[in-house]
Amino acid sequence: MFADIELEKEFKERLERNYDELKWLYAELYHNDGQAFDYFLTMLHEFYHSRPEELREQDRVREEHPDWYKGNDMLGMLLYTRCFGETLNGVREKLDYLKESGVNYVHLMPLFESPEGRSDGGYAVSDFRKIQPELGSMEDLAALASDCRKRGMSLCLDFVMNHTSEEHEWAVRARNGEKEFQDRYFFFDNWNIPNEFEKTVPQVFPQTAPGNFTWCEAVQKVVMTTFYPYQWDLNYANPTVFNDMCSNMLYLCNIGADVFRLDAVPYIWKRLGTNCRNLPEVHTLVRILRMATEIVCPGTLLLGEVVMEPSKVVPYFGSRGKPECQMLYNVTTMASTWHTVATKDVRLLKHQLGQVFSLPKEYIFLNYLRCHDDIGWGLDFPFLAQFGVREVEHKRFLNHYFLGDFPGSDSRGELYNDDPRLGDARLCGTTASLCGIEAAEYEGNEEKLDKAIRLDIMLHAFLLSQSGIPVIYSGDEIGQRNDYSYHEDPLKWSDSRYLHRGKFPWEEAKRRKMKGSREGRIFRAIQRLVKLREKHSVFESAADVWILECWNDHVLGIGRYYKGEKLLALFNFSEEEQTAWINEVEDYTDLLSRKKCPAKGVSVPGYGFFWLCTRFR
């Protein structure tokens, strides 16, 4: 009884801290629908009381240490359950490998029930509370989450907010003519209003899924389908949709998820006459979700998937007084990094990083070289224009370079959603194959292989030099190459993103302990860098960070300072040795070789890097 009283007190205290704003925002969004709001509060209460005590205790610890995820000890890995371990239990059996890799943040790609062949890689969810049968069960997910907690690992899950599968119960009932469920989506009696939307709403996949609407034959109506015809957009102007989707998220919180990747979150509010992206109501919804987690499960984080330019991304952090997502993807740095690999010119990357470095230090980005998705060339073309760069021609150059069609390029990639008219194709491929490892091994050219491995390792060192949480795509730690077998699978062959979604090569992973092997060189190098990052406080997200001018357009310089420790990180994006024309007065030591290295006119080998560190007493 005493415990129940204490729990109720804790819930009420958390609710009271958020109540006024929560009620105001909900009433404003849903036109003072008191019944829907009361249902929402009842739902929060029920999920709080049904939350396992082990998770409630973790919430309390994290409330005491709200910066628990901001340290230099964080390393993420993003993986597909089926590719990595076949099943959730298979992933559990491989947790020791992840621990060996230094990983303490595990992002599992979509797990939930979705129709085979019409799932967009699991992003067309037919049931948010069921695991895809061949991957396991919800009990298996809970067991995996528990094992992760015991090893000090956080678990991240994708939460697909914008749409459901056409096979979701709501969609099935809508197709059966139930108006209540049609109202959970966007149904129109004819094409008049959809055609008006099309005047202002861009197409996401103009080649593979043109348009934003699909004719539903069963009810003789038009339904909004922003991404693919089998993904029906949810109508968040209906409070029942928001309440039920929030309920699904909190259910997964109580299973043991620590982080939710809010998929396609900028798209979740629609208004005629706009582009239906980043509307103010989107931020209201994310803010309410944030408050819901602070009440029920304050140890849980929201990760916003906002694949847009920085001016659109940063608002999803919210403000200090009204925070939204705790973390966001640093997609612009990722794209600018690969641009720099192709051009060997760091000026755009310096410009882009300078914008990131100027943001408040509490803003935490997830940094990555590759992920499950394609690389889109959303670069700052107005900045590049001053150097005579034209957008269409430059995108064409970048794609030809990474296809291996450009003279001197050993990259091996494929295009996704190619639009020859706009030159707006996206790029697919693993880090290793884009760096040239695949081509070098195919040719048996050791000199090329050495160069490609150096580039691969240098890029990971750059990744680990940034503030925030570095995330490695599963397989990158051993230099996994492209998997072309998807061309033979009729369910996959139209989606070139499966090129880098291949099955994890466990036989190759065994060679990570072999001296001189490609797998061993990359694995040990990343391990060493991760350990150095964890050891030195200068890599903390709270550090001061700035662009270090090297007076050489092939060399990127980053300076970091924190708690008396100063780091100069130098990265040569050229194949040839280059000089970083810096002139720092302190005595520096190269963290990798442990040798003294004056920070004056530093010669950096081709595709090489230095972490030069000094400490002020």
Among 521, 366, 337, which Cα is nearest to 434's? 337
The pair of structure tokens assigned to 101 is: 């890799």
Model pLDDT, residue 149 = 97
Neighbour-count burial of 281, counting CB atoms closer than 10 A to its CB (0-12 exposed, 13-18 middle, 19+ buried): middle
The reported pTM is 0.95
The pair of structure tokens assigned to 374 is: 């394609």
Among 461, 368, 377, which Cα is nearest to 415's? 377
302: helix, strand or coil: strand
| Residue located via tokens 């129109």 | 188
How wide is the angle at C-alpha 330 spanned by C-alphas 329 and 336, nearest 5°? Answer: 145
The pair of structure tokens assigned to 106 is: 């595990």
* Residue type, position 609, single letter: F
Model pLDDT, residue 307 = 83
Residues 312, 306 contacting (CB under 8 angstroms): yes
Please report, for residues 83, 91, 132, 541, 585, the alpha-carbon distance to residue 141 in angstroms, rounded to integers and kept in the order given: 16, 10, 11, 31, 54
Query: CA-to-CA distance for 9 and 7, rounded, in angstroms?
Result: 5
263 part of the active site? yes
| Residue located via tokens 């992973």 | 509
* Residue type, position 194, single letter: P
Paired sense of beta strands 544-547 and 327-329, if any: unpaired
Task: HSE, CB side, 13 Å, CA atoms: give it for residue 354.
Answer: 13
16 part of the active site? no
Model pLDDT, residue 2 = 46
Catalytic site residue from 140, 258, 305, 441: 305
H/E stretch holding 198? helix 192-198
Give mean pLDDT in consecutive 10-residue pieces for the chain, a chain of 617 residues: 81 97 98 98 97 96 96 96 97 97 96 91 95 97 98 97 97 97 98 97 86 96 97 98 98 97 96 97 98 97 88 91 95 96 98 94 95 92 95 94 95 87 83 98 97 98 98 98 96 92 96 96 98 97 97 98 97 98 96 95 98 90
What ranges do the domains of the chain cover? 169-233, 542-615
Quick one: CATH architecture of 542-615? Sandwich (2.60)
Homologous superfamily assigned to 169-233? Oligo-1,6-glucosidase; Domain 2 (3.90.400.10)
H/E stretch holding 363? none
Catalytic site residue from 167, 263, 374, 483: 263
Residue 2 neighbours by CB distance under 10 Å = 6
The pair phi, psi for residue 576, each rounded to 5°, is: -100, 155
Task: HSE, CB side, 13 Å, CA atoms: give it for residue 313.
Answer: 24
Please report, for residues 317, 464, 546, 568, the alpha-carbon distance to residue 539 in angstroms, rounded to integers and kept in the order given: 22, 8, 13, 11
